[in-house]
Amino acid sequence: MTEESVNVTPRRRPVQARSRERVRSILRHAASIFHELGVDATSMSAIARRSGMSLASLYRYFPNKTAIVKAIAEEHVERMEAALRERLETLDLVDAVDVLIDLFYEFYRTEPAYSAIWSGVESMPELRELDTRELYSHARDLDNRLKDDCPGIPADRRWTASLMLPRSTGTVLRLAATLPEEQAQSMVAELKCMARAYLAELVS
């Protein structure tokens, strides 16, 4: 994956149920092989074989591998945005942070192809754009919750905190997902301590 501009728009927007299922199947099988081999070592031919279709059929849905990577990454972002909103709406803020750290860590560690795809975020402009979109979406949701719960926090500090918390926790969790389980769990526990302490200072 390089800095050069490539077309990452799917060739077909699935409308019929059969086409939507075909796209889901392609993305599911692509994620599986990315997880096994890594993105760079995976070819469109390998994705076509794993998906049980011809290469020509695969190209009718996606123009290149980068478009498939982006489509899988978009699914990751959508699922995590939904999870954040749901927890922020139903839990105390400190409890929500603990729950979200656990949820995101599990997602990073177990979602097929997550590490393989997002490890290339800096080398793929489309992923950088998605990553930034996810960050600002999380920040807006957190900012709204802080505004409701802690109206005394100055707006500029509240927004800075809303950007910093998801970015810093996400960076640590992505690192933890690459470590042996015992070390990763220790890092997650320390991350929760840091987040709780920062929130306590912020709302005091």
Query: Which amino acid is present at 174?
Result: R
| CATH 1.10.357.10 residue window(s) in the chain | 69-203
For residue 85, the one-letter residue type is: R
pTM equals: 0.79
Average pLDDT of the chain, as a whole number = 88
CA-CA-CA-CA torsion sign (126, 129, 135, 139): negative
Q: How far is Cα 137 from Cα 82, in angstroms, rounded to an integer?
A: 10
CA 139/CA 128 separation, integer angstroms: 16
Give the pLDDT confidence score for residue 7 in this predicted structure: 54
CA distance 180 to 201: 32
Where in the sequence of the chain do the CATH 1.10.10.60 domains occur?
17-66
Single-letter amino acid code for the residue at 180:
P
Task: With beta carbons less than 8 A apart as the criterion, state whether 131 and 75 touch.
Answer: no
Class of domain 69-203: mainly alpha
The rounded distance, in Å, linking the Cα atoms of 134 and 102 is 18
Q: Which residue has the tokens 């031919």?
A: 45
Q: For domain 17-66, which CATH number applies: 1.20.120.790, 1.10.10.60, 1.50.10.10, 3.40.50.720?
A: 1.10.10.60
User: What tens digit of pLDDT does each residue of 47-97 get?
Assistant: 999 999 999 999 999 999 999 999 999 999 998 888 888 888 888 888 888
